[in-house]
Structure 1
Amino acid sequence: MAAEEVHHLHSPPSWTYPKVECYELGVLHENRIWKSNAVQEQEGQLLCLQIAYTVSISSLIYYILKRFHQPRLVAEILAGFTLNPLCLQSTILGKTLLAARGILNFDTLANLGLVCYVLLSGLEMNLDAVLRIRRKAIGIAVAGIIIPMGIGMCFFAILRHYHERISVETPDEYIVHAYLFWSLALALTSFPILARILTSLKVLNTNLGRIALTTGMIVDACGWLLFIILVPFASNDAARPLLSMISTFFFIVICFFVVRPVLTRYINHKTDTDSWENSQLAVTVILGAIVCSCITDILGTHAIVGAFVYGLILPNGKFADLVMGKMDDCISGIISSLFFFRMGFTINLATIALQEYWALMTLVVFLLFIPKVLSTMIATFFFDIPARDGLGIGLLLNTKGVLALVILNIAWDRKILPAVYFTIMVSAIFLMTMMAPIFISVLYQPRKRFEVYKLRTVQKLRPETELRILACVHNVRQAASMVCVLKNCNATRISPMHVFGVRMVEFKGRAGAATLFASHMEQPYLTGSPSRASASQTESDIMAGTFKVLSEWNNAVRVETIDAMSVYETIHDDIFSLAHQKLTSLVLLPFHKQADAEGGLETENAIYKDINENVLRNPPCSVGIFIDRGLGTSSAKTNTSILTLFVGGPDDREALAVTWRMAGQPGTQLNVVRIVLHGEAADDVSVSTDSSLWLSSAIMDEEKQNMLDDEYLDSFRLKMVHNSEIVSYSEEDVGSVDELTSVMQEFGKDDYDLIIVGQGNHRNSALFSKLLEWCDNPELGVLGDIVASNNFGSQSSLLVVQQYESTAMDGRAQSRQPIRQNTPHSDGSEAHFV
């Protein structure tokens, strides 16, 4: 028989405050630990409805606000605001979703989501990165905590002076606690949300992004420390606070020095042998976090402290990626959204509007923006950081997150903060987090920087000028291939080279990779060679060591490594930003196919093709696409043979400029072959026979291009071919498709190590226009597609070059896409040109 008892429960303030609800709850099996009614039959349907509303409304709002670079937290709080007393709470929908019988279940699941969210935050944080941060970021962070806390206490005193003249809500014994909780919530910065905003705004790799990210990480770490110290003192029991704090720190020491070594050995073994099962992973991660949460809750701090510490002691690297891949969508997209959705209820603006001094309180909400900005600008002034960057960093550090909300919730639940103060601070936190990305996007206008980017090509560089190259890769294998290409660029003290190795990391909604990026900002590359890299090192560390081989091999080469993290759909914007910031003349990209055991090409990842096409469509400088067919494994060879095919046009001149940079490299044999078109193959493709003005300009442009080709080739032959035995030049006449095919087959028989060709943009010959229709990979151009074909019969690696100017000619810079036009030929067929 089911026993019946009546539970009088105070409804959490985030639901129907300030009312107190009570309801009757039937208890089944009263002698068991879990005392409740038949949840699945009586409460399950309402709980599913609450979750469905939360996820659907927050996803809809996030989809709308995403274009404004808003974090998901803002959308989830706004979704909760729809059931606020000022909105839908009094409607049938609001009364159904906020029924008293469903409060406890939703609140329990929201708290579980909070624990899981904090667990992932701890799993992503790298303490080594915090320890390597330099004095500049530490100084800004300390100022960003102390000054806002002091100013926040002043604001609290002003509000208390006016508000509590007519209403005394805070007991005298809690006044000090109220000051501390209020000011600490104002001083905090949410590192995970800050990293997402920087990634969305494409400023993660700028000076602003680096300083803001490292400073935010320090503030977040200090916030957790202050949280552990402060929360126990909010207890009603005056004898326990000091004991709670000491026991919590003792628990943390045990976790790091006793539990972590044992747990790390077990996890690394399971990860290295790839023997994880979903049930084992869930028990290890979720159950461990819940146990630690219960321990810290019993000790008198808070459940999220245990979850965060457990996330910190879990090993990073492959295991962290595995956990994030399996849990992130469920936790960040569903479970944790319930907590932030619940916070939306708390923003009851009526509590402010009904006050006598409502205008002053509204003003305070907006004035709370100032302390972080003021403290940051003061600190950056002493570090000689521009005022504009200081303003931007201050706005970004105003980003708040889960820790600030939890602090305010604790203060309200324990009646330390009255409803008015609570609403003021929650409103301010929401507005700060929402307005920070908007202010930064207006202040910096990242897309406008690309429009004023100056022309940068290898061809226009003087021989004694440093060649700056942005080498983008997705994995260590591609990094090794890029190193082999860059070794052939013949860097010398007179003509040095600066390589920026960029690892493109897919952003999947969390900020763990941003912490790794922050560590590399302070330590550009790994000390030691990749061969000595241990299994515990991340792929980013190994890639950094791979690129560092260049500087060890030739002291005329400088190397920096960077992690560019973004969703793949927009990661080309990060490449543009880096190329602009580093003033590079060439961006190297890996082809989306890799060589198989037989020398053919097979697709590695189709999304890589989209990334390459996006970069080629709107490049910040010249771009090269590299296909490795064994160049990276030919290091034992003493000689490297390179073939450059020249037809004509800006892309081919840029390809010849890259070849020119390789001349003089010991053991390198260069062969430059000009393909001379004649007969029908040399016919120009006309877009329109009706516009004589267009034809006249097109003919003049063609003549100009031919003149530039001849001048550049003559200069190359005069300075290189006639003065070097390792550089040869020849010409091949081509008048038809068959002749071109025959010539290319002969090149394939010679088995060159590397073939360099121009992409061929704006090449208007009839021959190449016809062949372009049959290209499997049009981003490589006609010649590049032939060499990349599995039928080419050669194991030669390939570098396809596109010059920056070629995308800006003929007024077509806006589209940045190969433009195909259909034009009737003399035989009635249609010709296409690019």
Structure 2
Amino acid sequence: MSIIGSILGIVFVSRILLWRILVPEEKAVTTVPETGEPCVNEMHLGIIFVVLLLSTLISEIVGQHYYLGPIVFGLSLPDSSPLGTAVVSKLDTFVSGLLYPTFLAISGLKTDIFSVSFQLAWKTAVIVFIGVVARFVAVMVPAMQGKIPFQEAFVLGLVMNTRGITELIIYNLFLEDEKMSSQDFTLLVISSALVTAIISPLVKLLYDPSSRYATGRRMTIQNHNKDGELRMVLCVHQHNNVPTLVNILEASNASEQNPIAVIVIVLVEVVGKSAAMLLAYRPQRSLEPSSSSNNHITNAFQQYERQNEGKASVQVYTNMSHFDAMHDDIRRVAANKRANFIILPFHKQWAIDGTVGAVNQPIREMNLKLLECIPCSLGILIDRGPSNNSSSSLNSKSVYQVAVLFVGGADDTEALAYGTRMVKHQRVVVTVTRFLLLGQDNKGRKHESETIEEFRKSNSGNARFLYQEVSVTDSTGLTEYIRNMDNYDLIIVGRSHPNSPLLLGLHEWSECPELGVIADLLASPDGETTSSVLVIQQQKMTATTNKLINQQSTRNLFIHDEQYSERSSIDRLSVHSSPSVAISIDIDKIR
């Protein structure tokens, strides 16, 4: 009766607290002025922590282990935002940084290997082996009955045999209650460590997560069907990035012949939830009240869809999870929607005065994971807001200036392909700048010259497509030119480039390797550039993807992979009759 009474008392008290905290009239939940996100009153958080400690005392008084009270109290609290997020954010550093390592260290001190006899160790090993096999079979059989492939069912069986903090807590409880001896405790701890140590590398060896996102075709902007629908996934974390994203969408030139399907994923970190949630937004006839950051984001893209009715469609999802798991949902959405391009936020936010205002390290970790495996091309947006004191809306501007920097490689080719799509917009001017090594024979780069020439031919007659060549002697000249670029609203550049004397030594000074050396220069606060930068990485061809493409006999559509004639690129440029402008600049003479 005392146990039942204590449980009911803890639940009853927690419900009263929740009613006081979550009811809007009590003003316990407020909003952060900068972001509009809800936050919980500090006083109410303090009351929750006091009740948490009291619940442990009540559990001991009624003769139960002190674990009972916190478990019941925790189950009474909602794990969603804002309350769950606030509680976990306050406790996470203290628990993960101090209590958890201390608990592991104490458990290790209780483990006395020299007190174990060989006979007892042999018997325990047999019991553990039988338990592992039994759980393995119990997982694999239902999984294969559910038509899960054998290899994935095998890996699932391995994962279910891993041991963690829960088993260690149970072993410590049994040891404290003298339900097991010190030898039994030692053997169980050692067996858990050995089983986990064996299973972990096997799972990494047998299971490749990227295979789930492998496609049988190249999902890039360059290989996109010119008469088909371009599918873009936009990941938004701060509503401050929305104006620049909308401008990029407008500049992407949605039309009835070549529409754009936009999939917006609003990234909401919920540290209080253990399971990720991907919620679809239901479109409304009218705009949502702008009472939160999410509504601001949704309204902006809903307005874009209305202005481009028949040309663009928008779907909005809210991804509520840890940042450690967000990359998996983004991959899944991109694969299911057959996206051609994903735009991710940069982990640094710029203030009004041009300095770095905030750094979000979890965003950077998410971007690094996505760069390793993604089913399409990917871009990282370095958003500095509207440049040159211009309006934030492309529709209200006379000209939207876009620069494409070309050094060489597949990523730069993808950037060039996106720039040539933008130049079809009536208010967009695209300037392609190709960097050459002064005083050197650039005939070895004929392959790149042919690539650029193909794009120039496709824009023949378009005076808004400008082309210039900049000759530099070394990486110093390249760095000086790039850091002084400040006449554009958006700069597009590839992430990776082939080895070149133009980039010699720049990798050693790179602060953000995920951007590449060129974009890292543009993102540096030391430069004078105030333009937003879009860093593009073309879809990586994994072994699984190449196998699927070979099986389907898909034609290689990469322009830089096609065979070209042996005619010199200089001759081709001299006889080319396109009205687009070609300018050659010697940066050393300018200096």
TM over 0.5: yes
Displacement after TM superposition at 1:314 (Å): 4.7
In structure 2, give the amino acid aligned to 1:654.
E
Give the distance between the partners of 1:734 and 1:423, measured in 2 at CA: 69
Give the distance between the partners of 2:99 and 2:485, measured in 1 at CA: 63
Question: Are the aligned partners of 1:365 and 1:424 in contact in 2 as well (CA < 8 Å)?
Answer: no
Matched, 1:799 2:534: yes
Give the distance between the partners of 1:479 and 1:313, measured in 2 at CA: 37
Task: Please point out which of 142, 152, 171 is paired with 1:379.
Answer: 142
| Structure-2 residue corresponding to 1:260 | 18
| Structure-2 residue corresponding to 1:328 | 92
| Structure-2 residue corresponding to 1:397 | 160
**Residues 437 and 705 (structure 1 numbering): CA distance in 2 closer, same or farther, change over 3 Å?**
same
Displacement after TM superposition at 1:551 (Å): 9.7
Matched, 1:706 2:464: no
Give the distance between the partners of 2:432 and 2:106, measured in 1 at CA: 70
Displacement after TM superposition at 1:556 (Å): 3.7
Give the distance between the partners of 2:29 and 2:318, measured in 1 at CA: 31
**Residues 485 and 733 (structure 1 numbering): CA distance in 2 closer, same or farther, change over 3 Å?**
closer
| Structure-1 residue corresponding to 2:415 | 655
**Residues 432 and 715 (structure 1 numbering): CA distance in 2 closer, same or farther, change over 3 Å?**
same
Displacement after TM superposition at 1:603 (Å): 0.9
Q: Tell me, what secondary structure is at the counterpart of 2:98?
A: helix
Question: Are the aligned partners of 2:30 and 2:41 in contact in 1 as well (CA < 8 Å)?
Answer: yes
Q: Tell me, what secondary structure is at the counterpart of 2:450?
A: helix
Q: CA offsets, 1:765-788, max 9 Å, x none?
A: 999999999999995838984999
Q: Tell me, what secondary structure is at the counterpart of 1:303?
A: coil
Pair member with larger Rg: 1
Matched, 1:630 2:386: yes
In structure 2, give the amino acid aligned to 1:292.
S
Task: Please point out which of 493, 503, 526 is paired with 1:758.
Answer: 493
| Structure-1 residue corresponding to 2:245 | 482
Q: Tell me, what secondary structure is at the counterpart of 2:265?
A: strand
Q: CA offsets, 1:655-679, max 9 Å, x none?
A: 34223444667xx52323455x8xx
Question: Are the aligned partners of 1:400 and 1:432 in contact in 2 as well (CA < 8 Å)?
Answer: yes
Q: CA offsets, 1:623-644, max 9 Å, x none?
A: 3434242399745946674334
**Residues 405 and 796 (structure 1 numbering): CA distance in 2 closer, same or farther, change over 3 Å?**
closer
**Residues 618 and 436 (structure 1 numbering): CA distance in 2 closer, same or farther, change over 3 Å?**
closer
Task: Please point out which of 370, 373, 382 is paired with 2:133.
Answer: 370
Give the distance between the partners of 2:77 and 2:99, measured in 1 at CA: 21
Give the distance between the partners of 2:448 and 2:505, measured in 1 at CA: 21
How many residue pairs get matched? 517
Provide the identity percentage.
21
| Structure-1 residue corresponding to 2:345 | 590
In structure 1, give the amino acid aligned to 2:443.
I
Q: Tell me, what secondary structure is at the counterpart of 1:398?
A: coil
Matched, 1:716 2:471: no
Q: CA offsets, 1:381-425, max 9 Å, x none?
A: 343333333333333333444544444555555565677766665
| Structure-2 residue corresponding to 1:309 | 72
| Structure-1 residue corresponding to 2:571 | none
| Structure-1 residue corresponding to 2:518 | 781
**Residues 304 and 414 (structure 1 numbering): CA distance in 2 closer, same or farther, change over 3 Å?**
closer
Matched, 1:343 2:107: yes
| Structure-2 residue corresponding to 1:513 | 271
Task: Please point out which of 189, 198, 203 is paired with 1:440.
Answer: 203
**Residues 363 and 252 (structure 1 numbering): CA distance in 2 closer, same or farther, change over 3 Å?**
same
Q: Tell me, what secondary structure is at the counterpart of 1:513?
A: coil
Map residues 68-83 of structure 1 onto 2, 5 A cutoff.
Answer: none
Matched, 1:729 2:465: yes
In structure 2, give the amino acid aligned to 1:627.
D
Q: Tell me, what secondary structure is at the counterpart of 1:605?
A: strand
In structure 1, give the amino acid aligned to 2:276.
A
Q: Counting helix residues as a fraction of each chain, which structure ranks higher?
A: 1
Give the distance between the partners of 1:744 and 1:350, measured in 2 at CA: 64
Give the distance between the partners of 2:118 and 2:482, measured in 1 at CA: 86
Displacement after TM superposition at 1:366 (Å): 2.2
Matched, 1:269 2:8: no
Q: Unaligned stretches of 5+ in structure 1?
A: 1-242, 506-511, 687-694, 722-726, 811-829
| Structure-2 residue corresponding to 1:176 | none
Give the distance between the partners of 2:145 and 2:188, measured in 1 at CA: 30
Task: Please point out which of 334, 342, 356 is paired with 1:603.
Answer: 356
Displacement after TM superposition at 1:548 (Å): 7.2
Q: Unaligned stretches of 5+ in structure 2?
A: 33-38, 542-557, 561-586
Give the distance between the partners of 1:487 and 1:550, measured in 2 at CA: 12
Map residues 608-687 of structure 1 onto 2, 5 A cutoff.
Answer: 621-630=377-386, 634-635=392-393, 637=395, 641-645=399-403, 648=406, 649-650=408-409, 653-662=413-422, 669-674=427-432, 683-684=437-438, 686=440
Question: Are the aligned partners of 2:350 and 2:358 in contact in 1 as well (CA < 8 Å)?
Answer: no
Task: Please point out which of 261, 267, 271 is paired with 1:497.
Answer: 261
Give the distance between the partners of 2:395 and 2:51, measured in 1 at CA: 53
**Residues 610 and 624 (structure 1 numbering): CA distance in 2 closer, same or farther, change over 3 Å?**
closer
Give the distance between the partners of 1:770 and 1:434, measured in 2 at CA: 41
Give the distance between the partners of 2:205 and 2:503, measured in 1 at CA: 45
Displacement after TM superposition at 1:710 (Å): 0.9
Displacement after TM superposition at 1:289 (Å): 0.9
Q: Give the root-mean-square deviation of aligned CA atoms.
A: 5.8
Q: CA offsets, 1:733-758, max 9 Å, x none?
A: 878999xx99999994xxx7x43433
Displacement after TM superposition at 1:257 (Å): 3.3
Q: Tell me, what secondary structure is at the counterpart of 1:625?
A: strand
Q: Tell me, what secondary structure is at the counterpart of 2:277?
A: helix
In structure 2, give the amino acid aligned to 1:375.
A
In structure 2, give the amino acid aligned to 1:258.
I
In structure 2, give the amino acid aligned to 1:728.
R
Q: Counting strand residues as a fraction of each chain, which structure ranks higher?
A: 2
Question: Are the aligned partners of 1:594 and 1:601 in contact in 2 as well (CA < 8 Å)?
Answer: no
Displacement after TM superposition at 1:524 (Å): 4.6
Q: Tell me, what secondary structure is at the counterpart of 2:221?
A: coil
Give the distance between the partners of 1:756 and 1:769, measured in 2 at CA: 22
Give the distance between the partners of 2:222 and 2:91, measured in 1 at CA: 49
Question: Are the aligned partners of 1:672 and 1:729 in contact in 2 as well (CA < 8 Å)?
Answer: yes
Displacement after TM superposition at 1:288 (Å): 1.5
Displacement after TM superposition at 1:367 (Å): 2.3
Displacement after TM superposition at 1:709 (Å): 0.9
Question: Are the aligned partners of 1:456 and 1:804 in contact in 2 as well (CA < 8 Å)?
Answer: yes
In structure 1, give the amino acid aligned to 2:428.
L
Tell me which moved more, 305-314 or 768-777: 768-777
Displacement after TM superposition at 1:496 (Å): 4.7
**Residues 742 and 417 (structure 1 numbering): CA distance in 2 closer, same or farther, change over 3 Å?**
closer
